[in-house]
Amino acid sequence: MLDDRKLDVLKAIVTDYVSSREPVGSKALVERHGLHVSPATVRNDMAALEEEGYISHPHTSAGRIPTDKGYRLFVDRIATVKPLSGPERRAIASFMNGAVDIDDIVTRTVRLLAQITHQVAIMQYPVASSSSIRHLELVGLSADRVLIVLITSTGAVEQRTLELPGHTEDLLARLRNRLNQLLVGRTPAESADLLSGFLEEFDPTTRPMAASVTAGVLEILSADPSARVLVSGVPNLTRFGPTLHTSIQPVLEALEEQVVLLRLLGDATSDGSAGLTVRIGSENSDENFQSTSVVVSTYGDDGGRSGLGVVGPTLMDYPSTMAGVRAIARYVGRFLAEG
pLDDT tens-digit series, residues 40-73: 999 999 999 999 999 998 876 678 999 999 999 9
Backbone angles phi, psi at 158, to 5 degrees: -120, 140
pLDDT tens-digit series, residues 246-269: 678 888 888 988 888 888 888 766
CA 157 to chain centre: 30
Q: How far is the C-alpha of 228 from the C-alpha of 130, rounded, in Å?
A: 16
What is the average pLDDT score of the chain? 86
For the chain, which residues make up each domain, given as ranges? 4-78, 86-128+228-338, 133-223
Q: How far is the C-alpha of 160 from the C-alpha of 279, rounded, in Å?
A: 37
Does the structural domain 86-128+228-338 have CATH classification 3.40.190.10? no
- The amino acid sitting at 233 is G
- Architecture of 4-78 per CATH? Orthogonal Bundle (1.10)
User: Class of 133-223 per CATH?
Assistant: alpha beta
Instruction: Judge contact between 39 and 33, C-beta under 8 A.
Output: no
Mean pLDDT, range 209-227, rounded to an integer:
84
Q: How far is the C-alpha of 326 from the C-alpha of 173, rounded, in Å?
A: 46
> For 226-230, 243-247, 292-296, which range has the lowest pLDDT when averaged over its residues?
243-247
Alpha carbon separation from 265 to 7, 74, 228, 272, 281 (Å, rounded): 30, 22, 11, 12, 15
Beta-bridge partners for 305: 300
Provide the CB-side half-sphere exposure for 278 (13 A, CA): 25
Indicate the pTM of the whole model.
0.72
pLDDT band at 193 (very low <50, low <70, confident <90, very high): confident
4-78 and 133-223 share one fold = no
pLDDT on residue 189: 73
